Structure 1
Amino acid sequence: MHAVEQILQDLPRLRDAAAGLRDLFLSDIVLIGEIPAPTGEEAARSRFIADRFVGAGLHACSVDEKGNAVGLLPGETGRKTLLLAAPMDTFVMEAGDQTIEVAKDRMVGPFVGDNCIALAALTVLPTLLDRLQLRLNSHVVMVACAGSLGRGNLEGLRHFLSSTRTLPAAGICLEGVQLGRVNYASAGVFRGKIHCRLPDDYNWAQYGATGTIVPMSEVIGRISRIPLPQKPLTTIVLGSIQGGLSYTNIARETVLQFEARSETLDELNALREKLEDIVEEVAAQSGKHLLLDTVAWRGPGGIDIADPMVRNARAILGALGVQPAIYPTTSQLAALFEAGIPGVTLGITTGERRNELDEIDEAVAIEPMSAGLAQLVANLMAMDE
């Protein structure tokens, strides 16, 4: 195993080598990002990434039956296998909206931070290791995962882990942002939709007829009044609401999308019961049809904060001058823990969503990317035999 102290001393060389691949890295980010890949329709992006794996010299490159792009970087001894995974799918975006702009210090475009950068990190990593003349002892299997978001519910990575002949000894889940994150725990997630529809016999001429938006606003108000504990940390995000067509038409259907998270399964179950009660009560009081639709459900998991993977990741960030951020994640880490694989989630650069940008557009910084790639290599070295 590489001594951690030696790895920390080697970080400037790793960062310089990563900076030397700036143009290749940015090019791959743009090429990947401009291929639409909504959940369930990742085929074109998957083929591109698999081709890049082939071009980078990976072995056993393929697209599996779930649409994952997979490649193997052989190790010197291969006594164990490490996993690098990044989600490949995005939320739906219209054709023509996927242009990524590259400026001097930042990139702007749809889902560029979530998760084009992490995918490009997979495609350039073999070249970076060649530049460094670094050969790991462990095999490294790289997976660009389909079916991660929404109803996909980590289907791609779960399929890979359940079908692979050699279960990885440990893994790193990559996200484009934020550099500094060291997620070693996976929050439990209840992701769903609340549908409010008018009954077939609804009296459209009735004075004061409100349609479905007003009952949904009552649902939202009641959700906002649910007391949420800080320990264990429990949150609920109301991510999207859609309903109605115009100023004058009564909305026939309104849909609320949400995600509830908690560090414990008991709290997540309790929150689910409260949401079910709210939906049933508002339906009874309003005379509208309300339905709670479960999109994804998974329990919490994690490794200890004292685990060497976590300690090393924090030390590497500190040596790079980056403040570590420790918090539970809803990333692909959950699939690793379900399979009994220890792992962490790391970010590659910094980014933000600005008010002047469209809803799907993200702005990410270019300069920190070399530190993010150096961090990735250093963590692989620390995990290596």
Structure 2
Amino acid sequence: MKRVALCAILVGTAMAASMAGAVPVHTPSDTRLIAAIKAKPAVKAAFAALEAEHDQWVENIVTLTEIPAPPFKEAARGKAYADMFRAAGLTDVEIDEAGNVLGMRRGTGKPGGKLVVVSAHLDTVFPEGTPVTVRREGSRLYAPGVGDDTSGLATQLSLVKALIASNISAPMDILFVGDVGEEGLGDLRGMKQLFGKGKYKDRIAAFFSIDDSSIDGLTNGGVGSKRYRLNFKGPGGHSFGAFGLVNPMTAMSQTVVDLYNIPVPKSPKTTFSASVVGGGSSVNAIPREVWLEVDMRSESAAELATLERAFLQTVDKAVAGENAARSTKDGVISVEKKIVGDRPAGSTAADTALVRQTAAAYGAEGVAARLSFSSTDANVPMSLGIPAITIPRAAKGERGHSTDEWIDVSAPESLKVKRMDLLAILAAAGYR
């Protein structure tokens, strides 16, 4: 990345950090624009289509939730979602090299011009074998992944159907995407394919991820992360007979202790966690190998890079310290540092047209948008300087990433979310 572009991203991150949690200020012209779009007969027809399709939206959530989509195993859900895209009337439906499902709503502009991407992710955080049968209690649906992001997929599909039912075509093409790899060690691989190698990568002018968990959430800041798996190795030996030899577990333990002594800023928020450990073979053996996984995050790309450097120095210091402290006659301690996750940080400034117009779209439905930071698919385009935000998938839900996750599917609030999303997308695609 060019130095100028990197500086611009860092400045944007700082601007978004200062606005996190604030209400973005949209101008009177933004309000008038959204009001004019909302008043169009075709948009009113689209809203009516959303209302008529509400029960089908609920059914789609149930259907998709009950197709397991654990990390790296999204293919079955992806195939079903591609069929839903085709049935809804999208063109150029395909599943790309990474497993993303793509479908196009053609605009009225020049073919091959700039386009808007709308996405929701196919994968869930839950491992293979997790029961995914949906339970309904009143207006609530309960199941692992029912909200994050299965409700986003269903909401996206409802928006597609509403556009087609009302015969709306914006000036810009709108590319709808069901993407892979958003959760965990998926490492945003679907977005990296779309923006790095995908056939539409040079055409994307704006990006929406339908993945915010609150009705007023407007994510314009992307929390970056670096994740490492460290494999510490040594000669091993009998716990009694070889006592005094270097021990890889000591180096690993010292790494954790020293990691937690690294100072990090509260703003921009920067964090770390020693998260998963393993290794060893027997209680009476000095281990030959142990491993540790570490997660580091920051709202700032610069602060994340500073933390990463300090952490890697800590690892090397811990290994050198153990080799100096005990006998290396049968071998030394070594460490392999493997990056298992690399999510770029970035932001879309609060005063960009995308944020302002989206906030105005929320306002048109009586909702005050609240700016926030998170780690979503929008991180990738944000890091590239492409205007990108994450918008709501449903009105209310809790317990995400837990097996008792739930969402509320009451029609009034759910329809409000879909109307907000549709207005924002149409504004970004140049519909006037």
Q: TM-score, normalised on structure 2?
A: 0.75
Q: Which residue of 2 aligns with 1:173?
A: 209
Residue in structure 2 matching 1:46, options 71, 74, 78? 78
Whether 2:361 is the aligned partner of 1:316: answer yes
Q: Which residue of 2 aligns with 1:60?
A: 92
Residue in structure 1 matching 2:158, options 116, 124, 140? 124
Q: Which residue of 2 aligns with 1:241?
A: 276
Q: Which residue of 1 aligns with 2:427?
A: 382
Residue in structure 1 matching 2:406, options 355, 363, 370? 363
Residue in structure 2 matching 1:201, options 223, 236, 257? 236
Q: Which residue of 1 aligns with 2:171?
A: 137
Whether 2:36 is the aligned partner of 1:6: answer yes
Q: Which residue of 2 aligns with 1:185?
A: 221
Deviations 1:23-52, CA, capped at 9 Å, x for gaps: 211222222222222333221111111000
Identity over the aligned pairs, expressed in percent? 25
Show the 5 A alignment for 1:208-357: 219-238=255-274, 240-243=275-278, 255-285=291-321, 290-349=335-394, 350-353=396-399
Give, in angstroms, the shift of residue 381 of structure 1.
Answer: 2.0
Equivalent residue letter for 2:266 = Q
Deviations 1:129-162, CA, capped at 9 Å, x for gaps: 3455544332211111123344443222222233
Give, in angstroms, the shift of residue 213 of structure 1.
Answer: 7.4
Tell me how large the CA RMSD over aligned residues is: 3.5
Cα 1:104–1:285 shift into 2, 3 Å: farther
Cα 1:249–1:36 shift into 2, 3 Å: farther
Contact 1:39 1:91 in 2 (8 A): yes
CA distance in 2, matches of 1:152, 1:117: 20
Cα 1:216–1:24 shift into 2, 3 Å: farther
Contact 2:237 2:286 in 1 (8 A): no
Cα 1:214–1:9 shift into 2, 3 Å: farther
Contact 2:141 2:409 in 1 (8 A): yes
Give, in angstroms, the shift of residue 67 of structure 1.
Answer: 1.1
Give, in angstroms, the shift of residue 72 of structure 1.
Answer: 0.6
Whether 2:136 is the aligned partner of 1:91: answer no
| 136-145 or 314-323: bigger deviation | 314-323
Cα 1:277–1:361 shift into 2, 3 Å: farther
Contact 1:59 1:71 in 2 (8 A): yes
CA distance in 2, matches of 1:291, 1:246: 19
Residue in structure 2 matching 1:160, options 169, 176, 194? 194
Q: Which residue of 1 aligns with 2:328?
A: none
Q: TM-score, normalised on structure 1?
A: 0.83
Contact 1:177 1:347 in 2 (8 A): yes
CA distance in 2, matches of 1:237, 1:344: 26
Give, in angstroms, the shift of residue 59 of structure 1.
Answer: 0.4
Instruction: State the SS of the aligned residue for 1:93.
Output: coil
CA distance in 1, matches of 2:298, 2:186: 20
Cα 1:280–1:111 shift into 2, 3 Å: farther
Residue in structure 1 matching 2:101, options 66, 69, 75? 69
For structure 2, the 5+ residue unaligned runs are: 1-29, 324-332
Instruction: State the SS of the aligned residue for 1:269.
Output: helix
For structure 1, the 5+ residue unaligned runs are: none
| 176-185 or 59-68: bigger deviation | 176-185
CA distance in 2, matches of 1:204, 1:55: 65
Deviations 1:337-369, CA, capped at 9 Å, x for gaps: 355432211122232228xxx944422222343
Q: Which has the larger radius of gyration?
A: 2
Instruction: State the SS of the aligned residue for 1:61.
Output: strand
Give, in angstroms, the shift of residue 307 of structure 1.
Answer: 0.7
CA distance in 2, matches of 1:351, 1:135: 32
| 37-46 or 240-249: bigger deviation | 240-249
| 251-260 or 31-40: bigger deviation | 251-260
CA distance in 1, matches of 2:226, 2:314: 16
CA distance in 1, matches of 2:377, 2:354: 17
Cα 1:289–1:362 shift into 2, 3 Å: farther
| 42-51 or 300-309: bigger deviation | 300-309
